[in-house]
Structure 1
């Protein structure tokens, strides 16, 4: 049993009022807490105002993913030039990079959709 790894835990702090609201929503949903939190985090729309502090970490993450992709490209080009299979990325590395790209791009698209919604609302109100 001690050799088994548990998945990482996600936790956060909330005020008493926020906790009571969350608990009420969980009760009303009829779901287990874990399922409610996972679905809330993945599927709820969050509107984020684009500012330097918000955008810069996204740019850094996308850049890091891009650099990983370039390294894999170099490995494939090197393989075709030198026929050296030792430098090729593993299937797991490719799958992990693909998952990271999909997750990050989905998050960015959702943030942009939220920003578009906010911008449209603000733009409409100023007319």
Structure 2
């Protein structure tokens, strides 16, 4: 586990290549988890499951990202509605990729905590 690795020099390196969307997606999930990237990837690979702890800091990170995304999207919408948009197609693609990765991570985290708001089925009634 991560605590067993703390303070030890690891001699083995595992590396892999990802495309830009996968990288952004991993980074957003790491941010949402509140873990170090190494701990997140190790737990994700070994246990194939990562538990997200809903700490105030994690929620604040998501709120901050959503606030920034809202402002940028408002600017982009205003720009695209103008007669001569300034944003390039490459810039729009890059922004779309980053925000899609963030939304995927936010939805992943919400799915993991959906038990907090989903109605429980009464097993006695066979529902």
| TM-score interval, smaller chain | 0.5 to 0.7
Out of 91, 94, 111, the residue aligned to residue 93 of structure 1 is 91
Structure 1 distance, partners of 2:50, 2:109, is 7
Residue pairs, 1:100-111, within 5 angstroms = 100-111=98-109
Secondary structure at 1:70's aligned position in 2?
Answer: helix
CA-atom RMSD, angstroms?
3.5
Of the two structures, which has the highest relative contact order with CA contacts closer than 8 Å and spacing of 6 or more?
Answer: 2
Task: Name structure 2 gaps, 5 residues minimum.
Answer: 18-22, 27-39, 121-127
Aligned to 1:55: 59
Aligned to 1:64: 68
Higher share of residues assigned helix: 1
Name which one, 1 or 2, has greater alpha-carbon Rg.
1
Give the TM-score of the pair, scaled to structure 2: 0.54
Q: Tell me the number of residue pairs that the alignment of Structure 1 and Structure 2 aligns.
A: 90
Is the contact between residue 48 and residue 114 of structure 1 (CA under 8 Å) also seen in structure 2? yes
Give the TM-score of the pair, scaled to structure 1: 0.54
Out of 5, 15, 25, the residue aligned to residue 34 of structure 1 is 15
Superposition misfits of 4+ residues, deviation over 6 angstroms: none
**What do residues 53-93 of structure 1 show as CA deviations (whole Å, max 9, x unaligned)?**
110111111221121111111112222xxxxx2x4310111
